[in-house]
């Protein structure tokens, strides 16, 4: 697997950490990584496509509602690569999310993240997740 430069790897790690905050009903950190652009996209596990930074950020707020915390998260790196100014990572991740109503939900996805160097740092420009089995 390609080794990402340290600055890109750090941003990817920070985005993944920020995603864990969505499990705690705190989407703000994740949303800070989303590029301010109408060209930002995200595709949910249900196949819903979101376009534009506002819609992508609103989706993370919606997903975070009712979450209380998480446990048993795992991440398995599958692939990554970069060119000048862009990078992608592909990984499998799963988690048990605890809900405010006392229930919990086990989820597993294969996730693709695409980041771009905007001149103001690396920002998320695309996220795609597909449901998977552990």
- One DSSP character per residue, 24-71 reads TT--HHHHTTB-SSTT-EEE-TT--EEESHHHHHHHHHHHHTTEEEEE
For the cut 80, the answer to whether the pLDDT of residue 38 exceeds it is: yes
Instruction: Evaluate whether residue 49 is within a structural domain.
Output: yes
Task: Give how many domains the chain has, as a whole number.
Answer: 1
Cα–chain-centroid distance for residue 110?
11
Instruction: Evaluate whether residue 112 is within a structural domain.
Output: yes
Going by DSSP bridges, is the β-strand pair 41-43/49-51 parallel, antiparallel, or unpaired?
antiparallel
pLDDT score for 83: 95
Task: Return phi, psi of residue 102, to 5°.
Answer: 95, -10
**In the structure, what pLDDT confidence band is assigned to residue 134 with cuts at 50, 70 and 90?**
confident
Residue 32: give the domain boundaries. Answer: 6-131
Place of tokens 């599958």: 78
How far is residue 110's CA from residue 128's CA, in Å, rounded to a whole number? 8
Instruction: Evaluate whether residue 1 is within a structural domain.
Output: no
Instruction: Evaluate whether residue 22 is within a structural domain.
Output: yes
Spatial CB neighbours of 83, under 8 Å, sequence gap ≥ 6:
none
Q: What is the mean pLDDT of the chain?
A: 96
**Do 88 and 70 contact (CB within 8 A), yes or no?**
no
Would you give the end-to-end CA distance of the chain in angstroms? 22
Q: 49-82, pLDDT tens digit by residue?
A: 999 999 999 999 999 999 999 999 999 999 999 9
pLDDT score for 10: 96
Instruction: Evaluate whether residue 90 is within a structural domain.
Output: yes
pLDDT score for 2: 87
**Do 110 and 102 contact (CB within 8 A), yes or no?**
no
Spatial CB neighbours of 3, under 8 Å, sequence gap ≥ 6:
none
Cβ of 55: how many Cβ atoms within 10 Å?
A: 15
Q: What is the CATH number of the domain that holds 14?
A: 3.10.450.50
């Amino acid at each position: 697997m390609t080794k990402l430069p340290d600055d890109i790897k750090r941003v990817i790690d920070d985005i993944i950490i920020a995603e864990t905050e969505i499990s705690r009903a705190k989407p703000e950190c994740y949303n800070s990584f989303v590029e301010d652009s109408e060209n930002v996209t995200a595709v949910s596990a249900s196949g819903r496509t979101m376009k534009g930074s506002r819609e992508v950020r609103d989706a993370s707020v919606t997903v975070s509602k009712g979450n209380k915390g998480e446990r048993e998260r795992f991440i398995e790196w599958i692939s990554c690569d970069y060119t000048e100014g862009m990078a992608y990572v592909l990984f499998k991740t799963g988690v048990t999310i605890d809900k405010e109503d006392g229930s919990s939900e086990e989820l597993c996805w294969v996730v693709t993240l695409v980041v771009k160097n905007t001149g103001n740092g690396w920002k998320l420009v695309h996220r795609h997740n597909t449901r998977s089995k552990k």
